[in-house]
Amino acid sequence: MTDEHDGPQEPAEQPQVPAAQQPEQPGRGATRRRSGRGRSLRAQLLIGLMSVLLGLGIVAQVRQTEQDEFAALRQDDLVRLMSEVTERNQQLTEERTQLRRDLSALSSGSGDRQVAEDYAQLQAILAGTVPVEGPGVVVTVVPGDQPVDAQRMVHMLEEMRNAGAEAISVSGQRLTASSAFVDTVDGLQVNGVSISAPYEWRAIGGPETLAVALDIPGGAMASMRNIGASVDLVERDLVQITAVRDVDQPEHAEVTDPED
C-alpha cells in the first residue's frame, strides 16, 4: 500500500525513480514522454476501462444493497440472524399451538359445562329437587261440606300441566311425575303425606294462561266449586315453590344408547 500513486511518499519517490534508473535506462523518462501519445492512449483506455468497471461495481453494489437489506451482511452474521429467526419462529409456533389448545379447551369446555348445567337445571326442575320461583298463580281451595277428593285434585293438576305449568306444589308438597293423590280415611294424601284443607296450589307458568285454563266452564275450578268448595285464584309475578322432593335412584330402568 505504500507504493501507491497517492501515497504520501509518492512525490518523494517520483523523482527518485528516474534518478535511480537513469544509469541503466538512460532514456526511460524521455522515451515515456516521447512515446507519450501511444502509451498515454493505452493507459487512458485502461484507466477508462477501470473507471467503467468501478462505475459498474458501484451501481451493482448500490442496487444489491437496495434490493436486499441482508446483502451487506456477512455470512456468520446471516447464520446468526437465521438461527435467531428460526428460534423465534419455533417459539411462536409453540405458543400458537399452546394458545390454540387453550382456546379449543376453553371453548369446548365452557360449552360442555354450560350445556351440562342447563341440562342439570332442567332435570332438577322437572324432578322437583330444587326450589324454584317465577311468575305463576296461587290457587287456594277451601272445601265446603264435602271433602275434595283425589280425583278433583288430579284434575286440577292435569289442567295446570296442560296449561304449561313448569313447577307445581300443593300445600307444601312438590308435585312431580311420580306424585300421587290418594284418598284415605284420614283425608287426602299426596306423596305419601297427609295434607289438610285449605289446600294451597302453587303453579309456575304463564299466569294468564293458567288462570284461563283453570277457570274454563267445566274445568278444574268449576268441578271444585260443584262440590261446594270455594276456590280463589291469584295471579302473581313471583311465585316461590320451596318444597322439594328427594329422588330415589332408579332401580330397574337403565340408560341405553339411543343408537342401539
Interface residue with another protein among 19, 72, 126, 193 (CB under 8 A) is 72
Nearest distance, CB of residue 37 and another protein, angstroms: 12
Going by C-alpha positions, the residue among 258, 109, 135, 247 that lies closest to residue 191 is 247
Interface residue with another protein among 19, 30, 59, 92 (CB under 8 A) is 59
Instruction: Count residues binding another protein (CB under 8 A).
Output: 38
Give the count of alpha carbons within 13 A of 75, CB side only: 0
Q: Are 139 and 221 in contact (CB under 8 A)?
A: yes
Based on CB atoms, which residue is closest to another protein, 82 or 247? 82
Q: Collapse the DSSP code of 74 into the 3-class scheme (helix H, G, I; strand E, B; otherwise coil) and give the result.
A: coil
b/e code 196-214 from CB counts within 10 Å (16+ = b):
ebebbbbbbbbbeebbebb
The three cell numbers locating residue 202: 302453587
Q: Is 20 in the site for another protein (CB under 8 A)?
A: no
Q: Are 139 and 242 in contact (CB under 8 A)?
A: no
The three cell numbers locating residue 65: 444493497
Name the segment binding another protein (CB under 8 A); options: 46-54, 92-100, 142-150, 237-245: 46-54
The mark string for 77-116 relative to another protein (x by CB under 8 A, - otherwise) is: x---------------------------------------
Nearest distance, CB of residue 98 and another protein, angstroms: 37
The span from the CA of 164 to the CA of 159, in Å, is 9
Q: Is 60 in the site for another protein (CB under 8 A)?
A: yes
Interface residue with another protein among 75, 184, 249, 256 (CB under 8 A) is 75
Name the segment binding another protein (CB under 8 A); options: 54-62, 128-136, 137-145, 216-224: 54-62
Interface residue with another protein among 9, 26, 35, 48 (CB under 8 A) is 48
Q: Is 61 in the site for another protein (CB under 8 A)?
A: yes
Report the Cα 10 to chain-centroid distance in Å. Answer: 79
End-to-end Cα distance, the chain: 95
b/e code 148-161 from CB counts within 10 Å (16+ = b):
beeebbbbbbebbe
Residues near another protein (CB under 8 A) are: 1, 3-7, 10-11, 14, 39-40, 43-44, 46-61, 63-65, 71-72, 74-77
